[in-house]
Amino acid sequence: MKKRLVIFGATGSIGSQVLDVVRANPDDFEILGLSAKSNKCLLEEHSNDFNPRLGWTLDISKMEEMAINPNTDMVVFACKGTDVINVLIESIRHKKQIAIANKELLVEYGERIMNEAKKYGVQLIPIDSEHSGIFQILNGNKDREIEKIILTCSGGPFLNMSQEGFKSITFNQAIKHPNWKMGKKISVDSATMMNKALEIIEAHHLFDITPEKIDVLVHPQSIVHALVQFRDGSLIAHMGYPDMRLPISYALYYPQAKENNLPRIDLIDKKLEFYKPDLCKFPSIGFAYDALQRKGNFTKKLNQSNDKAVEMFEKGEIRFDEIFEYVRKGTFL
């Protein structure tokens, strides 16, 4: 039987790749509903391609109706931002399968979301590549005690630039990621390493793990996405070609797995490097640990001040290097 999907954020980078996977596997999935924020034109185009039974919408209350429709098997959160928090909560309460790329929701409402998920026995299947990697490692190692989780990050386009150089970085330079093709906001976050800060918080909630047990390593090749070290000293890595359609396929097919013709990594002659992140040049990672340690709504403030800072950077109201100070003040002062 086909898995029936509702996809939020269908016009974005992740949403389009979700549709690519569905397009390549028409016998396995049916699209029931699609949504976006404002890009009606592209949404109509997708709708003509997939002919969703429940149609498409730009309206949050309609999104909720689509999510909880009795025919919906899985709800895919490929949208950004936190406006859809109640849609997510209702999807959990209606025991829908949930695939989630949207990290802002987990950063701001992680505790509430995971409490509901526990209460209703719903498992959130992450799409974010690092978290998909951890999820996959833990899936085969349920009874082993975790010593630490390591998230990798490419370091973004300015890993080797001097701090002085940060002052003249333009928005267009910041959205050119060396390994991944992503939406603009997350590309800037990768350049500031704020993306990794958000992912530390995301991992803390998704895997119910204390921040002291979460580490970050810079890995410029983006081949190892995550590692889990167990109490017995084993360190298990998840590797994959840097292509979001791989974690998307994993989430859409979960708990099954299906073969695909997406690119594979050839490890021959590949150099895999790992470095400690430079927290002086990229203080964002430190902000995440601080915000988690202080409890309260610091993670929410971190996400919101970063959203605002990226918006201001895009409009040319602040420089790239000023994002860090803007976020620090917005979160902790």
Binding site for ligand NDP (CB under 6 A): 8-15, 36-39, 78-81, 83-84, 101-104, 128, 180, 182-183, 185-186, 244
Handedness of CA 57, 61, 67, 70 (dihedral sign): negative
> To which H or E segment does residue 250 belong?
helix 245-253
Q: Which is nearer to ligand NDP, 15 or 156 (CB)?
A: 15
Q: Which is nearer to ligand NDP, 147 or 243 (CB)?
A: 243
Distance of closest approach, residue 269 Cβ to Mg ion, in angstroms: 26
Q: Strand 235-239 to strand 224-230: parallel, antiparallel, or no bridges (unpaired)?
A: antiparallel
Q: Which does 182 bind (CB under 5 to 8 A by kind): Mg ion, ligand NDP, none?
A: ligand NDP
Q: Which is nearer to Mg ion, 54 or 186 (CB)?
A: 186
Q: Which is nearer to Mg ion, 30 or 128 (CB)?
A: 128
Residue nearest to Mg ion (CB): 128
Which residues, in sequence order, are CB contacts of 261 under 8 Å at separation 6+? none
Q: How far apart are CA 182 and CA 176, in angstroms?
A: 9
Q: Strand 146-153 to strand 3-8: parallel, antiparallel, or no bridges (unpaired)?
A: unpaired
Q: Which does 152 bind (CB under 5 to 8 A by kind): ligand NDP, Mg ion, none?
A: none
Distance of closest approach, residue 167 Cβ to ligand NDP, in angstroms: 26
Residue nearest to ligand NDP (CB): 12
Distance of closest approach, residue 333 Cβ to Mg ion, in angstroms: 28
Q: How far apart are CA 256 and CA 76, in angstroms?
A: 17
128 binds Mg ion (CB under 5 A): yes
C-alpha distance from residue 127 to each of 28, 83, 289, 323 (Å): 19, 19, 23, 27
Q: Which is nearer to ligand NDP, 128 or 290 (CB)?
A: 128
Q: Which does 252 bind (CB under 5 to 8 A by kind): ligand NDP, Mg ion, none?
A: none
Q: Which is nearer to Mg ion, 82 or 129 (CB)?
A: 129
Q: Which does 25 bind (CB under 5 to 8 A by kind): ligand NDP, Mg ion, none?
A: none
The answer to whether 102 touches 79, Cβ cutoff 8 Å, is yes
**Among 151, 134, 93, residue whose Cα is nearest residue 250:** 134
> To which H or E segment does residue 267 belong?
none
Q: How far apart are CA 204 and CA 212, in angstroms?
A: 10
Distance of closest approach, residue 275 Cβ to Mg ion, in angstroms: 18
Enumerate binding residues for Mg ion (CB under 5 A).
Answer: 128-130
